[in-house]
Structure 1
């Protein structure tokens, strides 16, 4: 089974048994505020996202990962992954953590591992990340990753493989 590991995190692909954990994460008011435009996410949508990620891993080599701490491997603390931007061929980076884990550099650490995976193992040429202008924390993550602004009205950042520094 595919697993990514950093100094502090374990990342493994979404699986059907993650439905309850992802449902809880994506409906957390602090997580859904920017990720889901502050709307509640149904169990059906969670199942669809898991199935989409599984299909993307089979067909494209990338998808979503659940995150847990190395020293607390059974508990989901967030997610990070890659998916195709709807209606385009471009790939975007997504991430979200429970609020208790904010401010520790974990989103940046997870995102860096997923970017490395996307560039080095999947062979992607560009990876985008988007955030609402009010989501200053996500914008800081993108900047720490070396991404640069790309296009309004949301904040869109891009990183080229040639500029990626693991």
Structure 2
């Protein structure tokens, strides 16, 4: 990766949303296990991935924040993405992340998510972040509570019932 990182954590670098590639998105979008709690395991077609990516890039240019590709510092391996976006049809700013399977269970989701929260506190004029997970995604819920989010309730976003979390900044 040639660009300067926007966020640096102990083991990762997160770069501009403009640097994420369709190939990176497709890699994550083509694995049913990675998508288990997002699409129920249904993989995305190439046009669906392209649309997802274009939507995220447009949001970044409109809002000034977005989903950033994440790389290991040790060898520049792409591990997934993390960042901020508007929560489904609201003005709430949502923390999100998705990691490739080889990087699960190593504390990297927590590290990336905390780095994004720290960045939001230091650089964005916002007072609250939200996050949602599939009701059964206990690992992601644990990441959120570990970095300071509070579970508030079940809610309905993205056409599904979710666990809804908030954090004051």
For this structure pair, what is the TM-score category when the shorter chain's length is used for normalisation? 0.7 to 0.9
Q: 2:25·2:53 contact (CA, 8 Å) conserved in 1?
A: no
Deviation at 1:97, TM superposition (A): 1.0
Distance 1:67 1:22, change over 3 A: same
1:159 corresponds in structure 2 to 167
Distance 1:54 1:2, change over 3 A: farther
1:113 corresponds in structure 2 to 115
Deviation at 1:121, TM superposition (A): 0.7
Distance 1:118 1:53, change over 3 A: farther
Question: Quick one: distance in 1 between partners of 2:128 and 2:52?
Answer: 22
Q: Over residues 98-148 of structure 1, what are the superposed CA-to-partner deviations in whole Å (9 max), with x where a residue is unaligned?
A: 121111110011011111222221222111111112111001001101110
Q: How many residues align?
A: 160
Greater CA drift, 75-84 or 14-23: 14-23
Q: Please identify which structure carries the higher strand content.
A: 2
Structure 1 runs (4+) greater than 4 angstroms displaced: none
Question: Quick one: distance in 2 between partners of 1:49 and 1:29?
Answer: 17
Distance 1:39 1:87, change over 3 A: same
Q: Please identify which structure carries the higher helix content.
A: 1
Superposition TM-score, scaled by structure 2 size: 0.86
Within the alignment, does 1:72 sit opposite 2:75 as a pair? Answer: yes
2:130 corresponds in structure 1 to 128
Question: Quick one: distance in 1 between partners of 2:147 and 2:24?
Answer: 27
2:158 corresponds in structure 1 to none
Q: Over residues 18-63 of structure 1, what are the superposed CA-to-partner deviations in whole Å (9 max), with x where a residue is unaligned?
A: 1011111122122111123321112223223332333333222210
Superposition TM-score, scaled by structure 1 size: 0.88
1:145 corresponds in structure 2 to 147
Q: 1:150·1:156 contact (CA, 8 Å) conserved in 2?
A: yes
